[in-house]
Amino acid sequence: MKTIEATENYKTETNLADSHYKKGDRGRAIDVLEKYRNHLLDCGDDFFVNKITNKIELLQRTIVLKSKPLKLEIPLTDKCNLSCIMCLQRTHGKHEITGRTCREIGALIPYLETINWIGGEACLSPYFESLFDEAARYPRLRHNIITNGLFIDERWAEKLAKTRTCVCVSVDGFTAETYEYVRRGARFDDLVGALTRLQKYFPAYPVSGMPRLILNFVLMKRNCKDLEHLVDFARRFGIKTVQINPLNPFQPDSEYREQNPGADPELMQWYLNIAVPRLQREAAEKNIQVGLPDLGRIVAQTNVAALTGGGKENIPVPSSDTIDLTCPYPWGSLFSDPEGRVGPFCQCGTAFGGNVYQEGILAAWNGDVMRRYRQLAGDNDSSLGCKTCVMKHYRLAAGLCDPLW
């Protein structure tokens, strides 16, 4: 089957299944998917067979999966060339994937729809280029690379442009003074050089349906005022997407919490009443998409005490009668932290466990930790922490919900 035809057929069948699911008829949704999977088996399309099997297992709340992960995020290394002030990773150079893990990632690549290349700084891993080149052989696979961008030379800029890759460059400052203060060890001129090279190659290789270049900006007290320069900076490099992320307010590190803008009422007033309206207006005029955290709503819902260290207990929980709080991540994705501990997503509040480097990726995928996540998530068990999940809370505050498909 051709890729485009297979993708369209997948959308048709899953939309039909989704319509049954939304009406509360999970059985009919499963029947639609199983019939479609049998058709795919006859066609020999392993990628979509795995994807449909995964959706069926999600609907059935299966604990031990036959399907392989759809999304994989395993740090290739914890090495980094910078020491950013908000980074929660306090040690570098202690963890590196092994040759065995590299081979396991390579074996999973044909089944993945998304792979996140992360570190530390992923470009510092000796395995990164060979894995990236292998993944580039599969045009359906979306690559997301989160990087400080400082290793992107001419060769890498062209290589990234030729693949279905979204490059997310962490910036955290649009002036040299702020950028070099927050991202310690970096030079603003080197960032400008990397973005210039990406701007040179990316327009020649357009990819529909996804952004190619994103600036990631972690909003904190030290860089809030740099929002005034965001639109001009993005325009300078032809960037159409900027994602602004709030600090996680529930981190225990007091120095980390000190940078949270939500704890400063005066700064919050400036952000809500001046910065956001102006930024939205300027971005719309220049056709730049800016993802803004709704800090006002988050502060109102979490209580300022929670943002300043009071904990998660003050978060109001949406009724499960009005929204399905079952998290799809334990069925579709596998995440590992730099030490090898596994979980379904990097923002999960429940402690991770196991070790992907010792167990192996597929063993960890159906290991004790992931089985427990699926069991508790399928039961909407409050002990899992999903109802106070920071990521889910941000999405719900914006009126969003994780899609089943």
Cβ-based neighbour number of residue 140 at 10 Å: 14
SS3 144: strand
pLDDT of residue 241: 94
Q: How far apart are CA 264 and CA 26, in angstroms?
A: 47
Short-list 227, 226, 199, CA closest to 213:
199
Q: How far apart are CA 278 and CA 272, in angstroms?
A: 10
pLDDT of residue 61: 94
pLDDT of residue 391: 55
CA distances from 365 to 118, 336, 344 (A): 19, 11, 9
Q: Work out whether strand 213-219 and strand 165-170 pair parallel, antiparallel, or are unpaired.
A: parallel
Q: Work out whether strand 183-184 and strand 83-84 pair parallel, antiparallel, or are unpaired.
A: antiparallel
pLDDT of residue 90: 61
345: amino acid identity, one letter: F
pLDDT of residue 315: 39
pLDDT of residue 351: 60
Q: How far apart are CA 296 and CA 303, in angstroms?
A: 10
pLDDT of residue 304: 40
Q: How far apart are CA 117 and CA 145, in angstroms?
A: 5
Inter-axis angle of helices 99-108 and 128-135, to 10 degrees? 10
Low-confidence stretches of the chain (pLDDT < 50) are: 1, 297-298, 300-323, 394-405
pLDDT of residue 17: 93
Short-list 71, 101, 135, 64, CA closest to 338:
101
Tokens of 85: 């002030």
pLDDT of residue 134: 97
Q: How far apart are CA 344 and CA 346, in angstroms?
A: 7
